[in-house]
Structure 1
Amino acid sequence: MNFFNLALKFKRFPIGEAKKLLKTILNKDEAELKNYIETKKREIVNYHLKNNTFYKDFTKNANMKAWEDIPVMTKSDLQQPLKNRLSDNFSLKNIHKHKTSGSSGTPFIFAKDKFCHALTWAGFINKYAWFNINLNTSKQARFYGIPLNKKGYYKERLKDILSNRYRFSVFDLSDTQLQKNAQKFKTTKFDYINGYTSSIVQFAKYLKQKNIVLKSICPSLKACIVTSEMLFKDDKALLETQFGIPVINEYGAAELGLIAFQNKKDEWIVNNEDLFIEILDKHDNVLPIGEKGRIVVTSLYNKAHPFIRYDLGDIGSLSKQSTLKTPILESLIGRADDIIVLPSGKKAAGLTFYYITKTIIEDSGYVKEFVIEQLKLNTFKISYTGNHEINRDKLQKIREAITTYLEPGLTILFKKEKQLTRANRGKLKQFKSHL
C-alpha cells in the first residue's frame, strides 16, 4: 500500500504533478539546465516583488540590476508574524506551515505552498531510490524526537504509521534503552535507519561494546541516513563498521528541504532541481569554486513565502569537480550537538533541546535568539535575547518541559542578554556542554 503518497494526496500536496516536473528537470542537458535555473531565478524574484508586501519592503532600497544585487536575507529578517510574510492569495488554510528546528539559535515559523512542499518530497523520493529505499514500502527505523504533549505526540505517531516507520527515543540513550533498541532490530524487518546523527552514533557505540553488527541481527537493513547534525569521519567509520551498511550523509533544512545528499561514491550531491545554492563571502560576494563561505539558498518554487538568497548560517564549499549537472558539496561546517549527560546517568541527544525550546518559540518574535549551556551535571543556563524578559509563567512552562523531557531536580538559570556571543563564522550553537 502506498501510504506515503496517499498521505500527501490526502493533505492536497500534488505529489504526482511534482514527480513529473522533477523527472523533466532531471532529464535536461547542461545547456537546458542552465537556462532553466536562470529562468526560475528571475520568475521567483519577480513573483514575490509583485505579490509579497514583506519582500517588496525588504528589497525597497536595493538597486537590483543583477542577481548579485539582490539583498541576502537572514533568519532574523524573518522573525515577525507569519501573516506579515505570506504572499497574496495565501493563508494558513492553503499552505504548509512549520517551525525551523532552532538548531542555529534563531527559530521562526515559515510557510511553503503545497506544490513546493510536494516537490521537496519528490526530491527525497528520488534520492532515496539511489539506495533502493522506497518511502511507500521501506520500513524506517526512526531516531528522531517527538513532542510529549498529548496532541503533538499522537499526531507524530499517526504520521509514523502512515509513513511505515518505528520511532526510537532520542531522549533516553541509556544502555537499558539501547539494549531494547537492539532487540527491536532483531524482531523487525527494517529497511533503513534515519535520524539524528548523535543519537545513532550512541547506538553504534553501544553495539560496539556488545560486539554486535546490526546487519547480522537485522539482515533486511540496506542503509543508514543521518541528518540534522554534523557527521564526522570517525563517527561515519564507526557506523559503517557496527551497522554493516552504507552510511549516507543528508544535509537539509526544514524551511528548504533537501540541500545535499551523498551518493554511492560518497559525493555530496547538491540539490539544483528546486533550489539554487551559492557560496558567499562576508560581503555577499560569490566565492570561486573550492573556497569556503556562507551557504546561501534560493527556493525556486516557494510562492507562499520568499526564501531568496537566504543565509542558512552554515559555512561550506563546493568541489572543483562540480559541474552544473552534478554540483558537489565539498565541505560543510554546520550543526553539531553534544550529548547531554544527566545526574541520573541518563544521556540524551543535544537536539532534545529543540523540543524543550519549542515552548519559548513564538511567532511574535518574543524570544529572538537563545543558546543553552550545560554548566554542571545538574545545571543548565539559557541565555536569550528578545523584546522583553520571559515572564514567570513562561519560565515555569520551560522548567516543566525540561522535567518532562529530561529529568526532575535540574537547576535552570535564565539570563537575558543584549547580544549573544557567536562563533567566528557568525553562527550560534544552540547547545553546548562544558562537562
Structure 2
Amino acid sequence: MDWFKLSLQLNKFPINRAQKTLQEIQEIPVEDYNNYISGKRQEIVEFHLNNNRFYKNFFRKNSFSNWNEVPVMAKTDLQQKLENRLSKGFSKSTAYIGKTSGSSGTPFIFAKDKFAHALSWAGFQDRYQWHDIDLNKSLQARFYGIPLDFYGNIQERIKDRISLRRRFPIFDLSEQKMEKFLKRFKNSNFSYINGYTSAVLLFAKFLDHKNLNLKEVCPHLKLCIVTSERLFKEDKKLMELVFGVPVVNEYGASEVGLIAFENKENEWVVNAEDLFVEILDKNNKPVPTGSEGRIVITSLYNKAHPIIRYDVGDTGVLSEKSTLKKPILEKLIGRTNDIAILPDGKVVPGLTFYYVTKSIIEDTGSIKEFVINQNAQDSFKIEYVSQSDFSETQKQKILQSIKTYVGKNLKVAFERKDKLARSKSGKLKQFTSTL
C-alpha cells in the first residue's frame, strides 16, 4: 500500500498530476530553462494581479516590464486576515491552510492551492529517493514537537500513522527519555531519522556516551535528515559516526515547501522546479553568485495566495557553480534578525558568537546543549546544560575567544540549567537578542 500517496489523495491533493508535472519540468533542457522560469514568473504575477485584490493593492501597478519592478514581500506584509489575501475562487475549505512556525518572530497564516501543495510533496519525495528513501514504504523516526492539546495531539498522531512516521517528542530530552528512544529503535525497523538538528544531535551525544552505534541497534536505518537549525561540520561527523548512516541537510519553510536538499555529492541543491529563489542585497538587487544576501522566494504555482519575491527571513550564498536549472546553496548563514549589535555600532552575526563559543565549550566533553542571549549591547548570557559548572579556566577561555573574534569590553554571564527553553514547536533557538 502506498500510504503517503493515499494520505494525500484522501485529502484531495492531486499527487499523480503533481508527480507528472514535476517530471516534465525536470526534463526541460538546460538551454530552455530560462524560458521556463521567466514564463512561470510572468504567469503567476499576472494571475495574482488579475485575481487577488490584496496583491494588486500591494503591487500598486497593473503590469511590469522588468522582474526587478516586482515588489519584495516581507512577512509583516502578510500579517492580516487570510480572507483578505485569498485569490478569487479560493476559500479556506478549498485550499490547504497552514501557519508558519514563527521562529522569525513574525508568524502568519497562509494558503496554498491543492495542486501547489501536492507539487511540494512530489518534490520532497523526489529528493528523498536520491537517498533510497520511499515515503510510501520507509518508516520515519520523527524528532519533532507535537501539539499538546487533546484534539491537536490526536490529529497529529493520526497523520503520523498514515504517513509512516513515529513521533519522538522532543520537549523532554532527559537521559531517561533517551533510553526510551533507544528502546524504540531496537524494536522498530526505522529507515530514516528526520528532525530538528539540536534534538537529533542530543540523541547522538547520548549514543556516543554509551559507545553505541545506532545502525547496529537498528539495521534497517539508511539516513538521517536534519532541518530547521544550523548543522555544524563537527556535529555532522559525530552524528554519522554514532548513527552509522549519512546525515543530510534539508532546508524548507512551511509557506513555500522544500527550498533545498543535500544530494549524495554533498551539494545543497536548491528547488528550482516550483520555486524561483533569489539572493538579494539590502536594496533588493540581485547579488553576484558567491556573495551573501537575503533569500527571497517566488512560489511559481501557488494561485490561492501570492508568495512572490517573498523575503523568507534567512541569509545565504549561492555557489558559483550554480546554474538556473541547478542552483546550489553554498551557505545558509541564518536568520536576518539573528545579529548582535555592539556598543561601537559593530554588527556581528549571532552565529559567529555562537560558533566561537561552541568551539571552546565542546572541549569540556560534558556540555549537552547551550544557547546565547544578548540582553544589552555590551551584555550576553550563556545558558547551558552540563554535568557540572564551568570552571574559572573554562570561562576565561570563552571570554578570551569572544574578545578576539566578537568584540572587546563585553560582559558575559554563565548560567547552568537542568534544561533549556524551547519554542512551542520544539525548536531550540540558539542565539537571541532581546534588544
Shared fold (TM-score, shorter chain, > 0.5): yes
d(CA) in 2 for partners of 1:24 and 1:284? 32
The Cα of 1:183 is off from its aligned counterpart by 1.3
Aligned equivalents of 1:313, 1:62: Cα separation in 2: 27
Question: 1:276 corresponds to which residue?
Answer: 276
User: In 2 relative to 1, CA 157–431 (structure 1 residues): closer, same or farther, beyond 3 Å?
Assistant: farther
1:15-30 aligned within 5 A: 15-30=15-30
Structure-1 residue corresponding to 2:253: 253
Tell me, yes or no, if the aligned pair for 1:317 and 1:329 is still in contact at 8 Å: yes
Do the aligned partners of residues 11 and 46 (structure 1) sit closer, same or farther apart at CA in structure 2, a change above 3 Å counting? same
In the alignment, is residue 64 of structure 1 matched against residue 64 of structure 2?
yes
Match of residue 242 from structure 1: 242
Q: Return the offset for 1:327.
A: 1.2
Opposite residue 33 of structure 1, the aligned amino acid is: Y
Q: How does 1:354-365 map to 2 (within 5 A)?
A: none
* Deviations 1:80-121, CA, capped at 9 Å, x for gaps: 010000000100110000100011111000000000000000
Gaps of 5+ in 1: 339-346, 351-372, 378-406, 411-428
Change in 2 beyond 3 A, CA 1:307/1:200: same
The one-letter amino acid paired with 1:236 is K
SS at match of 1:334: strand
Q: For residues 371-409 of structure 1, what are the alpha-carbon distances to aligned partners after superposition, in whole Å with 9 as ceiling and x for unaligned?
A: xx99979xxxxxxxxxxxxxxxxxxxxxxxxxxxxx9xx
Work out the CA distance in 2 between the residues paired with 1:318 and 1:376: 33
Residues 433, 34 of structure 1: CA spacing in aligned structure 2 closer, same or farther, 3 A cutoff? closer
- CA 183–349 in structure 1, closer or farther in 2 if over 3 Å, else same: farther
CA distance in 1, matches of 2:178, 2:62: 54
Consecutive unaligned residues of structure 2, counting only runs of 5 or more, are: 339-350, 355-367, 372-379, 385-417, 422-428
CA contact (8 A) 2:56 2:62 kept: no
Deviation at 1:349, TM superposition (A): 10
Q: Which amino acid aligns with 1:84?
A: N
- State the 1:348 CA deviation: 9.2
Secondary structure at 1:19 match in 2: helix
Aligned residues: 358
Bigger relative contact order (CA 8 A; separation at least 6): 1
**TM-score, scaled to structure 2:** 0.78
Instruction: Spell out, residue by residue over 1:225-282, the C-alpha distance to the aligned partner (whole angstroms, 9 max, x if none).
Output: 0011111111111111111101010000000000000000100000000000000000
- Are residues 124 and 329 of structure 1, via their aligned partners in 2, closer, same or farther at CA, if it must alter by over 3 Å? same
Q: Report the residue type matching 1:313 in the other structure.
A: G
Distance, in Å, in 1 between the alignment partners of 2:29 and 2:12 is: 32
In 1, are the aligned partners of 2:49 and 2:62 still within 8 Å (CA)?
no
SS in 1 for 2:16: helix
Matches within 5 A, 1:324-335: 324-334=324-334
- RMSD over aligned CA atoms reads 2.5
Report the CA distance shift for 1:13/1:349 in structure 2 as closer, same or farther (over 3 A).
Answer: farther
Partners of 1:276 and 1:297 in 2: CA distance: 6
Which residue of structure 1 lines up, in the alignment, with residue 90 of structure 2? 90
Distance 1:239 1:112, change over 3 A: same
Q: Does 1:300 find its partner at 2:300?
A: yes
C-alpha separation between the residues in 2 aligned to 1:332 and 1:375?
23
Tell me which amino acid in the other structure corresponds to 2:334: G
d(CA) in 2 for partners of 1:374 and 1:53? Answer: 46
Aligned residue for 1:176? 176
Match of 1:6 in 2: 6
**1:232 aligned partner, one-letter code:** F
Query: Which residue is 1:426 aligned to?
Result: none
Distance in 1 (alpha carbons) for counterparts of 2:43 and 2:61: 20
**CA distance, structure 2, for counterparts of residue 77 and residue 250 of structure 1:** 27
In 1, the alpha carbon distance for the partners of 2:313 and 2:184 equals 37
Residues 197-346 of structure 1 mapped to structure 2, 5 A cutoff: 197-334=197-334
Find the residue that maps to 1:332 and give its secondary structure. Answer: strand
2:97 is aligned with 1:106:
no
Alpha carbons 2:46, 2:63 under 8 Å: kept: no
Letter in 2 for 1:128: Y
- Mapping 1:148-163, distance limit 5 Å: 148-163=148-163
> Alpha-carbon deviation of 1:332?
0.6
Deviation at 1:33, TM superposition (A): 1.8
What SS is found at the alignment partner of 2:111? strand
CA gap of 1:245–1:290, structure 2 versus 1, over 3 A, is same
- How far apart, in 2, do the equivalents of 1:285 and 1:175 lie? 49
Q: Percent identity?
A: 57
Letter in 2 for 1:321: K
Amino acid at match of 1:284: N
Tell me if the contact between 1:278 and 1:297 (Cα under 8 Å) persists in the aligned partners. Answer: yes
Q: In structure 2, how many angstroms separate the alpha carbons of the residues matched to 1:58 and 1:273?
A: 26
Compare 328-337 and 51-60 and name the one that shifted more.
328-337
Aligned twin of 2:388: none
- Structure 1 length as normaliser, TM-score? 0.78
Residue 191 of structure 1: aligned partner: 191
**Conserved in 2, the CA contact under 8 Å of 1:102 and 1:430?**
no
